Amino acid sequence: MRIFYSEDHRLQHGRAELNDGKLVPCFEKPERAEIVYRQVAAAGLGPIQTPQDLGEEPIRRVHDGVYVDFLKTVWGRWLEERGDYDILPLNWIAPNMRRRRPSSLDGQLGYHSYDAGTPITAGTWRAAYAGAQSAANGAALLASGAERSAFALCRPPGHHAGTDFYGGYCFLNNAAIAAQLLRDRGAARVAVLDVDYHHGNGTQEIFWKRGDVLTVSLHADPDDEYPYFSGYADEVGEGPGEGANLNMPLPIGTDWASYTGALSAALDRIAAFGAEALVVSLGADTFVGDPISRFKLQTPDFLRLGAQIGGAGLPTLFVLEGGYAVDALGVNVANVLTGFVGR
Ligand code: SP5
Ligand code: ZN
């Protein structure tokens, strides 16, 4: 299994996010990718390489150009107008307000975001860009037929980022970029399976009206968990995309015994769809020890999770998403990949 990793992820190191009414140190921090790197190397999972630069085109295939330009330039504008501290938005659009893009910095920050937990720093664009390149490289490798599986060790994560918005620690939707690249390089139908604890609302939004990319997400019930306003079972897609989105909200406290049945149903749907390639949004925040999540998967369960996904028999790209119990994150992620390759 080929692994793609860029050290540029370190350029994203936000100081604080808003949690329980306090600014607390960011859960999404560089140590996450470092420990995953060490564990996949230790597990002998495959050669690890720095991604080739495929440019902005694969990113612009799923993200709005105005949004990409905003991400590239917002730090410079902020530094000049405000100063050298992390950017957090503080104004959003309520119902009956206008979805009109203001010219001001604060207006645009609110327009392009949806939470106060996702700081933009000096290196955010470069880090997110490098992560997107890892995902695009993994997809290109699968599309070439040279490998049946790959792992994009992306940081920051991506599945909460939509066409023109960021949030949930995500700026560029790495999994969506990979799925689109697989489509562009010949796969007629692609499935995205999201096993992160949180609903992959960005991925859902990007492919909402598309019938060629099936999006399936297993996650904590949004009635009681972030992102709250997306991820319900009755969200099925629209137009040509109707029926090509499947949400499986699961109760707080879900353990492997109940998770595996839901995963089996998700994989059945992917098989019925006729996907030629699979992108897995791999969050390990379903782990019992995760500091911000409330599922109960144990470390050996991640081997089972990987093996079950491997049973689908599809060319598969894993893309790293969440997981905040840093000490266990490396082993949990490596276990998924080890289970998948069948060792
Ligand atoms: C990629 C990913 O996993 N993003 C997750 C973003 C979650 N952001 C909201 C976290 C709020 C945690 N609040 C926990 C309260 C515990 N008292
Ligand atoms: Zn998550």
For residue range 174-225, what is the model confidence (pLDDT) as tens digits?
999 999 999 999 999 999 999 999 999 999 999 999 999 999 999 999 999 9
pTM for the predicted model, two decimal places: 0.98
Torsion sign across C-alpha atoms 89, 292, 331, 302: negative
- Any ligand 1 atom below 6 A from CB of 315: no
Q: Could you tell which of 88, 171, 198 is best to mutate to test the pocket of ligand 1, judged by most ligand atoms within 8 Å of the CB?
A: 198
The answer to whether 160 is a known catalytic residue is: yes
Ligand nearest to the CA of residue 32, numbered in listed order: 1
Share the mean pLDDT of the chain.
Answer: 98
- Any ligand 1 atom below 6 A from CB of 200: no
For residue range 13-40, what is the model confidence (pLDDT) as tens digits?
999 999 999 999 999 999 999 999 999 9
Q: From the candidates 9, 112, 159, 160, give the one annotated as an active-site residue.
A: 160
- Residue whose Cα lies nearest atom 8 of ligand 1: it is 168
Amino acid at 232: Y
Output the CA 212–ligand 1 centroid distance in Å.
30
Output the CA 219–ligand 2 centroid distance in Å.
9
For residue range 71-123, what is the model confidence (pLDDT) as tens digits?
999 999 999 999 999 999 999 999 999 999 999 999 999 999 999 999 999 99
- Tell whether the model's pLDDT for residue 283 goes beyond 90: yes
For residue 279, give the nearest of 252, 304, 255, 312 by alpha carbon.
Answer: 312
For residue 220, give the nearest of 301, 296, 279 by alpha carbon.
Answer: 296
- Any ligand 1 atom below 6 A from CB of 122: no
The pLDDT, as a whole number, for residue 171 is 99
For residue range 112-142, what is the model confidence (pLDDT) as tens digits?
999 999 999 999 999 999 999 999 999 999 9
- Binned at pLDDT 50, 70 and 90, residue 5 comes out as very high
- Any ligand 1 atom below 6 A from CB of 208: no
